[in-house]
Amino acid sequence: MHHHSHDHHHHGDGHEHSHQIHLQKKFKFAVVVTFCVFLGELIGGIWSGSLALLSDAAHVMSDVVSLLISWLAIYLSTRPATSSRTYGYHRAEVFAAFVNGVSLIGISGWIFYEAYQRYMSPTEIKVTGMFIVACLGFVGNLIILWKLHGESHNNLNVRSAMLHVIGDTLSSVAVVVGGAIIFWTGWYPIDALLSFLIGGIILIGAVNVTREAVHILFENSPRNADADTVATHLRALDTVKDVHDMHIWSLCSNYAALSAHVVVDENTTLAPDQILEQINAELKTRFGISHTTLQLEQVACAQGGNLLCNAQHS
Q: Are 140 and 152 in contact (CB under 8 A)?
A: no
pLDDT class of 126 with cuts at 50, 70, 90 = low
Task: Round to whole Å and give the CA distance between 310 and 314.
Answer: 7
For the chain, give the percent of residues with pLDDT over 70. 87
Statement to judge: residues 213 and 297 lie in one domain? no
Would residue 75 count as lying in a domain? yes
In a domain, 82, yes or no: yes
Residue 290 and residue 270: Cα distance in Å, rounded? 22
Q: Regarding predicted confidence, which is higher, 115 or 52? A: 115
Among 249, 314, 261, 313, which Cα is nearest to 287's? Answer: 249
Answer whether residue 135 is part of any domain.
yes
- Note whether 242 and 145 are same-domain residues: no
Q: Are residues 159 and 86 in the same domain?
A: yes
We report the CATH number of the domain holding residue 251 as 3.30.70.1350
Q: Are 111 and 206 in contact (CB under 8 A)?
A: no
Query: What is the distance between the alpha carbons of residues 204 and 52, in angstroms, rounded to a whole number?
Result: 24
Mean pLDDT of 92-96: 92
Domain housing 119: 11-217
- Looking at the structure, tell me whether residues 184 and 38 fall in a common domain: yes
The answer to whether the pTM exceeds 0.85 is: no
What pLDDT was estimated at residue 251? 83
- Does a structural domain hold residue 3? no
Q: Quick one: 275 and 193 in the same domain? A: no
Buried b (16+ CB within 10 A) or exposed e, 15-52: eeeeeeeebbebbeebbebbbebbebbbebbeebebeb
Domain assignment of residue 64, yes or no: yes
Whether residues 39 and 160 fall in one domain: yes
Residues 200, 108 within the same domain: yes
Same domain? For 206 and 251 the reply is no
| Shared-domain flag, residues 206 and 249 | no
Residue 166 lies in a domain: yes
Q: In terms of domains, do 195 and 235 share one?
A: no
Q: Please give the Cα distance from 168 to 162 (Å, whole number).
A: 10
Same domain, 244 and 137: no
284 domain residue, yes or no: yes
When pLDDT is cut at 50, 70 and 90, the band that residue 274 belongs to is: very high
Specify the CATH number for the domain of residue 118.
1.20.1510.10
Backbone φ, ψ for residue 261 (5° rounding): -100, 130
- pLDDT tens per residue, range 20-34: 889 999 999 999 999
pLDDT in tens, 133-192: 778 888 889 999 998 888 887 789 999 999 999 988 888 888 788 878 888 888 878 888
Q: With pLDDT > 90 as the criterion, what percentage of the chain qualifies?
A: 44
312 pLDDT higher than 50? no
Q: Which of 233, 231, 234, 229 is nearest to 305 (CA)?
A: 231
Say if 187 falls within a structural domain: yes
Residues 61, 64: Cα–Cα separation, whole Å: 5
Q: In the listed set 188, 217, 246, which residue is the last one of a domain according to the structure?
A: 217
The tally of domains found in the chain comes to: 2
Whether residues 213 and 64 fall in one domain: yes
CA distance 270 to 94: 40
Of 217, 251, 279, the position where a domain reaches its end is: 217
pLDDT digits (tens, 9 = 90+) for 217-242: 998 888 888 899 999 999 999 999 99
